[in-house]
Every structure is written in C-alpha cells, then in structure tokens.
Structure 1
Amino acid sequence: MKCVARQLASSVVCGLLFWAGGVAAQGPVCSEADAEALQWLARTVKSRSEVAYQGVVTLQRGDDMQVVQVARSLADGYSSEHLTRLTGQGAQVVRPHHPLNCTHPGEQLLTLGDRVEAGDCGLARYYRFEVGPGERIAGRQSVKLEIQPRDMYRYGFLLELDQDTALMLRASTLGRGGKILERFQFADLSYDEPLEPRSGMDTVHPAAHPHPDDPTAGARLSVPWIVSWLPNGFTATDAADPEGPRRTYTDGLAVFSVFLEQLPRELRPGEGLARLGSSLSYTRGMHLADQPVLVTVIGEVPVNTARMVADSIRVAR
C-alpha cells in the first residue's frame, strides 16, 4: 500500500523534487513540452528507489561553501540515507528505513512524460524544458536539463543528470538573467555500498517522516486563515489545519511555507528580508480579524512572490 508523505525540503540530494498537481494545459503550451526532458525527470525520480551510492557534494550559496558527505543504501524494500557536514560544526542528518513504495506527490508529477501527448503537461505549463549533452561531473558523463520559468514568480534551474543512472550530479538554481543563486554538485561519487554514518558528530538529527494529514504542530491561532493568492501551479502539499500556524505549497520544483504567529501587540510598519542562496525569509506584521500577527514566508521563490503571498492572507469564510 502506498503512502503519501512530505518531501524533506532541506535534503541536499532530494531537495529539488517536490509536488505540483497535474493541470490540463492549453494546446499551444502542451505542444511545446519536451517529452524527452520530462522522461529524464521521471528517470531521476525512479533512481531514488533503484540507485545506492556514496559521495561528497559541495553546496555553494553566494560566498558560503559547504562540503557534505552523502550516502544512500537500499535493502529489503527500504532506503536509508545520511548527510554529514564536513565543514564547520560537525552535524549529521539520518533518515533510516524509508519505504521504497512510499510515493511522494512530487514524484507523481515528475513521471508525466508518458502523458504529455494526452494534454496532461504538468510542470511544462509553468516551465520550459530543454535537454542536451552535459559535462563530465565526478567522473560521470551527464545529460543537461535546462528549466526556464514561464513567469516572474519562480526561479529557473539547470540540472545535470548521470547519463547512465539519471542520478542528479549537479543542480543550479537560476535567478534573473541566468544568475546562479545556489549550486550543489558531486565532487566524488561511487555506486558501491554506501558508508556507515560517521561517529563522533557534534549533532545528529533524525529526519522525521510525518503523514501529510497529521495535525500541524505548533500553537493554534484564534481564527482560521487562508492564503488567497498563489502563483499558477503552486498547490498545498498536505491537509492544512485551518487554525494551524503553517501552510506549505509547491509547484513541483520550488517550495515555500507560510507561518503565522499571533502577537501580544502591534509591530511597527515595515518588512524584513533575509536571503541565503535561492532561499529567502520574508516577514511583515499585519492584522487578521483585528488581531496583530506576524507573517513569515520562507522558501525558494523571488521576493515579489513572497510579498504577494503575504499580502493575500485572509480570514477563512
């Protein structure tokens, strides 16, 4: 029996594959869809349940560079993954015994390649895809997949996949003018049996895998609320608690969350913004049913998208 669960947005290896609902596209857009590109996306998803590996990746965000050891093993219908940061304070994220038949909603979208001709274009309605030959990365020949947004509400991507296994070897998030905002890539890769998690780490984080219909953790608000505007193609990833503090949305490649916190008093007018690579945190104060609240949008979208999402928060009717 398949289960449907949230993606781990913070995972370096898995972080670019998220959910968006398949929406019937208009003919002209659907006719532009690159079936070969969508098939490569589908192969990338499939590699998650078929490919065991170990390696070292670099994650570049502006002037910040992190080096991470990553590994995935497969056994008895489960996968186990661990990520160990090799720079700065030692820390490790471990996700053991993840069922291989657990289907994430994002994976359902990224296997749409076979249905493009039927008009179900999925991501191709919101992005343009182009596939071509890539470079050698970590000693492996790659296939290059260029992904350009069709509007101003999302970023572009440049993915380079292993020609043999479709494992993602390099992924770049692109801003306006093709500027690289964030990039991760394998510096070393082996398909042998993965290493065991390192011992002696300062911090070890077990990665939780909650069911999407579980109640949202955190303090409940006094009134139900909704996000009344989303860019086309962005969809809720789970069943949100109407009075819970969080909503999460994705279009299949980008993801962002909206948090609301009730305040004891009103904030001064203004907004706050922090960026790290392709991720931002946008905050501002507002009123919800005469109650002062702090709204925070965190995710991989341009600041104008975050601002418009924050402006659209309303009391649920």
Structure 2
Amino acid sequence: MITARSLLHSLAVYGVLLASQIAAPPASAITCSETDAEALGWLAKMSRSYREVAYQGVVTFQRGDDLQVMQIARSVESGQSHELLTRLTGQGARVVRAGHPLDCTHPGQQLLQLGDRAPATGCGIAEYYRFQVGAGDRIAGRQAVRVGIQPRDMYRHGYVLELDRETGLLLRISTLGRGDKVLERFQFADLHYGEPLSPQQDVATVHPARHPHPDQVDEGPSVSAPWVVSWLPRGFVPTDSAAEASIRRTYTDGLAVFSVFLEQLPRAMRPGEGVAREGSTTSYSRGMNLAEQPVLVTVVGEVPVNTARMVADSVRMVR
C-alpha cells in the first residue's frame, strides 16, 4: 500500500529531493571527465526546470508488484510555486505544497546545479557516482535524454534518470539496487506544460508538505543528552541545523536521503535488530545502551541495509 509517507516521498523524489537542504561539498579530487561534465549539465538543467516549469500530468509509481497512479501538477504565479500530488488509485489522498518562493533555491538543488560551473569548481556528486549519458526513450510523448548513475561505493543505490530533452524536466526515475534490480520507478504517463492546477477528484485526506529553512533549529521532541552520528558514507552531509538533543538527524548526498531517530526507552530491549524494506526505502532499528541509557536507534531512508546498519552502529551520546 502506498502510504501518506509514500506520497510525500514521491513528491520529494520527483522534485529531486526538494526537501534536501545541503551545502555543496569541497571541490572533488576526481578529475571531471567529459561524460561527468555533460551529466552534471543535465542535472543542472533538471534542477532549473523544476523551479521554472509549470505542468500537469499523470504519473505511475511502482514498487515491486504494487503500481499506483497519481496526478501531479505545478503552477507558477506571483513569484511562488504550488504543487499538488493526488492519488488516483486506492483510497484518495493528496499532498499539497503551496507558496514556495521561486527565488528560494535549496542547497541540495545548488549541488545539482554545479554543472553550470563545472569543471572550474570540481565534480561535486561525480565524486560519489559514475555517469553515463545517452539517448532516452519517448515518455509521455516527449523525447528523453537518459542519465545513468552508478555509485562508486556500496553505500548507496544507483539511478536511471530520463529527462525531457527540451526542458530538462524529469520524466522518469528508476532506483536500482544490487545487480541493477529496479527497486522502484516513478514516471509520467501523460504530461502537459503550462496547465493550471485542476485536481481530478475530491479527497478526504490532505497532507501539507512542510518547507523548513535549513538553518532553522528543530524545536520538536528531544532526548535528555546530545548525541551524534559518528560515521557517514562519504558525501553525505546534514540537511538542516537540528538541535543537539533533537530526536532526528537527516542527511543527503544530493540524490539519496536518510534520517536517524533516537528514542529513549524506559527499559532495555532484548538484543536484536529489525529491518523493513519498501522499494528503495529501508527502515532499520536496533535497541542499544548509550551512556547507560537504553535507546532505540532507527535509520530510515533510501540506502542499502548495510549502510543503515553501519550508521546506526555509529550513534554515540556526547558527554
């Protein structure tokens, strides 16, 4: 079943991690090849298209044997953008993201826009992924350019992006696991540019999408002592300025994103771990004692299980 979180995830994936708010990493030590430069140029065009292009269409979202159909729409007016994502199959639900300033470019989008300045500023995410650019399929009546993205290590997934050759808009994204197995796929079946927002159905459940500032300290639930994640795969950095005692930390490398949650427990849990996977999303939990305090550590995000396990194992209390 596609849940409310899945709808929010779909909107985030389509917007190329529109919730990611990261600082660009230092210049890469890897020499930027012509293929890397071309791929980064397409990623930059894709990022700009998301900010500049108005559209409306129907998309499919597939995880294994589960296929959902959704309507997605975006309008641009008075210096702001508005997005709707409405599920057309199963129980009706809608994600609404309104009033996003057009001049607000998230650092995560800035990372993808590095192609506008490459190779002078290095290769950015090409330090962590290999790229292959070629002719793409015809999707929703539009000719696409295919950008294949393979991780340089075992800590992240691969991707295949299909971008509108004319506008750079993301028409299809496939997330790949081990052996290039497709874990999930999100693509347009129908697309019209410049269309106003016009949802096709009334729904009882509406989920507003938050738009926090990356420097805004998270004032949500907290734990009794500061804690840190002491190991991250290279290239992953915090998405925001979470408080030291916040129950959550979120990280991204510009394509993948995951969160770490720390919950204090009234008593110790039995040794063991729990793993759940849905498409490209892993949920890994482990009970442990940190500074003589029983806690439950959970890692949720678009990373392999071993990555989630290693991140969870690295959580430490700060004395």
Q: C-alpha offsets along residues 229-280 of structure 1, whole Å, 9 cap, x if unaligned?
A: 0000000011121011000000000000000000011111100011110001
Q: 5+ unaligned residues in a row in structure 1: which ranges?
A: 1-7
1:293-308 alignment to 2 at 5 Å?
293-308=295-310
Aligned to 1:3: none
Q: Does 1:191 align with 2:197?
A: no
The 3-state SS of whatever aligns with 2:225 is: coil
Aligned to 1:159: 161
Aligned to 1:24: 27
Distance 1:228 1:207 in 2: 30
Aligned to 1:34: 36
1:84-123 alignment to 2 at 5 Å?
84-123=86-125
TM-score, length basis structure 2:
0.93
* Partner of residue 290 from structure 1, selected from 289, 292, 302: 292
Counterpart of 1:243 in structure 2: which amino acid?
A: A
Distance 2:34 2:298 in 1: 36
Aligned to 2:51: 49
Distance 1:9 1:205 in 2: 12
Counterpart of 1:133 in structure 2: which amino acid?
A: A
Paired residues of 1:20 and 1:251 also in contact (CA < 8 A): no
1:193-232 alignment to 2 at 5 Å?
193-198=195-200, 200-232=202-234
Paired residues of 1:21 and 1:251 also in contact (CA < 8 A): no
Q: Offset at 1:111?
A: 1.2
Distance 1:10 1:296 in 2: 21
Counterpart of 2:287 in structure 1: which amino acid?
A: G
Count matched residues. 309
* Partner of residue 250 from structure 1, selected from 246, 249, 252: 252
Distance 1:158 1:276, change over 3 A: same
The 3-state SS of whatever aligns with 1:97 is: strand
Distance 2:299 2:274 in 1: 10
The 3-state SS of whatever aligns with 2:47 is: helix
Paired residues of 1:33 and 1:124 also in contact (CA < 8 A): no
Q: 5+ unaligned residues in a row in structure 2: which ranges?
A: 1-7
The percent of aligned pairs where both chains have the same amino acid is: 67
The 3-state SS of whatever aligns with 2:307 is: helix
Q: Offset at 1:97?
A: 1.3
Distance 2:152 2:317 in 1: 31
